[in-house]
Amino acid sequence: MPFTPAPGRSLQAHADSLAKALKKLSPDDPALKAYQASKSEEWVTGANLCKIIDIGERTLFRWRDSGALTPGTEWRRKSPGKASTCIYNVAAISQKMESREWSESKGLPVSDGLSA
């Protein structure tokens, strides 16, 4: 649904009411997770991301080159041109890695939500 501002209501007021509505959602709601990720965007280099999420740089490059990571939301170049350094959105990639579909597609163990 497109945003149609109410007369006399600022964009900031609309954003604040949207944030309040999102807080009422379940913590697992995808809309809430997307909103939280957008509020806490931290873009880091590939080497730093690999340290944060504990993967090898070749794995990260393979994910990016295969299309497993979405350009623009999960990675981008610092400046135009193929020779430019890539930077990565920590929150977006961490959220993707937590999803069951991602884990299954990468052959990783999937938690069933039960702890022994």
* Residue 14 belongs to a domain: no
pTM: 0.56
Decide: 75 and 86 in contact? Cβ < 8 Å: yes
Q: Which residues does 86 contact at the CB level (< 8 Å), separation at least 6?
A: 45, 46, 64, 75, 76, 77, 78
Q: Which two tokens stand for residue 13?
A: 């007021």
pLDDT of residue 34: 66
pLDDT of residue 112: 53
* Residue 71 belongs to a domain: yes
- Structural domain span for residue 90: 36-105
**38: pLDDT confidence band, cut at 50, 70 and 90?**
low
* Residue 60 belongs to a domain: yes
* Residue 70 belongs to a domain: yes
- pLDDT tens column, 64-105: 998 989 998 899 998 888 888 999 999 889 888 887 776 677
For the chain, the domain total comes to: 1
- Mean pLDDT confidence for 56-70: 91
pLDDT of residue 15: 78
* Residue 5 belongs to a domain: no
* Residue 31 belongs to a domain: no
**111: pLDDT confidence band, cut at 50, 70 and 90?**
low
* Residue 46 belongs to a domain: yes
**CATH number where 57 lies:** 1.10.1660.60
Instruction: Determine the Cα–Cα distance for residues 33 and 79; give it in Å rounded to an integer.
Output: 28
Residue 71: DSSP 8-state: B
Percentage of the residues of the chain whose pLDDT score is greater than 90: 26
* Residue 6 belongs to a domain: no
